[in-house]
Amino acid sequence: MEITLIRHEKSLLTENDRITSFAFTSWVEKYDKQGVCEETNFPYETVARIAKTNIMMI
């Protein structure tokens, strides 16, 4: 069995300020609302690996 993790693209949230643990929940909510950049071209290795894989999303 082989497990491969593929991370989503870069977040659209551009905030990079330091935050406290108390502000973390608010930051996560903003991060989730912003979404991620949508790529149209993916690395060949990634496409090839996905093509031959049984994908199980959790």
Q: Output the pLDDT for position 25.
A: 92
Residue of higher predicted confidence among 14 and 20: 20
Spatial distance between the Cα atoms of 13 and 34, rounded to a whole number of angstroms: 6
Give per-residue pLDDT as tens, 42-52.
888 888 888 88
Amino acid identity, residue 15?
Answer: E
Which residues lie below 8 Å from residue 50, measured CB to CB, with a gap of 6+? 6
How buried is residue 25: exposed, middle or buried, by Cβ count under 10 Å (0-12/13-18/19+)?
Answer: exposed
Average pLDDT, integer, range 18-29: 90
Instruction: Indicate whether this model's pTM tops 0.85.
Output: no
Confidence of residue 58 (pLDDT cuts 50, 70, 90): low
